[in-house]
């Protein structure tokens, strides 16, 4: 059984945002799958997806600060800065974190660990709505 849908996230400010519930609510077909997968694919090159701690907002704040340290703005070696100082850093962060997630389904639910949540990582200062393709397959 395959099911695929495309939807948009609301506009998020720059930073790391918990979107597990938002995604689950968009895919009621989950309940029909006993064993399978959800693949979540973000169609952008300046925002990313990752899985991390779902309870304490300080994790997401530390993520924003540490990724800004690993991949700072205004480095001398940057040339792709047409759209501002957050342009090439957003691309670099996207490739370090990744554009897609594959999560197992077990008995109609995402089989995440207790502390795992899905983060939408917005790397631009002023981005629009981000589009995601979600594909479910299983039996």
Does 101 participate in binding a copy of itself (rule CB under 8 A)? yes
| Per CB under 8 A, 31 contacts a copy of itself | no
Contact between 18 and a copy of itself by CB under 8 A: the answer reads no
Q: Is residue 77 near a copy of itself by the rule CB under 8 A?
A: yes
Residue 84 binds to a copy of itself (criterion: CB under 8 A): no
Q: Does 83 bind a copy of itself (CB under 8 A)?
A: no
- Under the binding rule (CB under 8 A), the answer on residue 44 touching a copy of itself is yes
Asked whether 118 and 20 are in contact (CB, 8 A), the reply is yes
Q: How many CB atoms lie within 10 A of CB 34?
A: 11
Look at residues 52, 130, 126, 51 and name the one whose alpha carbon lies nearest to residue 86.
126
Cβ-contact 110, 103 below 8 angstroms? yes
- Phi-psi region for residue 98, left (φ > 0), alpha (ψ -120 to 50) or beta? left
Angle 109-113-116 (CA atoms, 0-180°, nearest 5)?
100
Query: Nearest distance from residue 74's CB to a copy of itself, in Å?
Result: 13
Binding site for a copy of itself (CB under 8 A): 2-4, 35-37, 39, 41-45, 50-53, 56, 58-59, 61-63, 65-66, 69-71, 75, 77-80, 88, 91-92, 94-104, 106, 111-116, 119, 131, 133, 135, 137-139
């Amino acid at each position: 059984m395959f099911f695929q849908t495309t939807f948009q996230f609301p506009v998020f400010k720059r930073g790391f945002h918990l979107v597990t519930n938002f995604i689950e609510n968009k895919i009621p077909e989950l309940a029909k799958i006993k064993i399978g997968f959800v693949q979540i694919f973000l169609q952008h090159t300046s925002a990313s997806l990752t899985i991390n701690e779902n309870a304490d907002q300080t994790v997401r704040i530390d993520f924003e600060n540490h990724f800004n340290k690993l991949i700072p703005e205004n480095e001398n070696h940057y040339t792709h800065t047409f759209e501002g100082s957050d342009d090439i850093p957003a691309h670099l962060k996207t490739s370090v974190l990744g554009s897609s997630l594959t999560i197992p389904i077990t008995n109609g639910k995402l089989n995440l660990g207790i502390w795992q949540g899905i983060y939408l990582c917005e790397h631009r200062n002023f981005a629009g709505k981000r589009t995601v393709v979600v594909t479910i397959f299983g039996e």
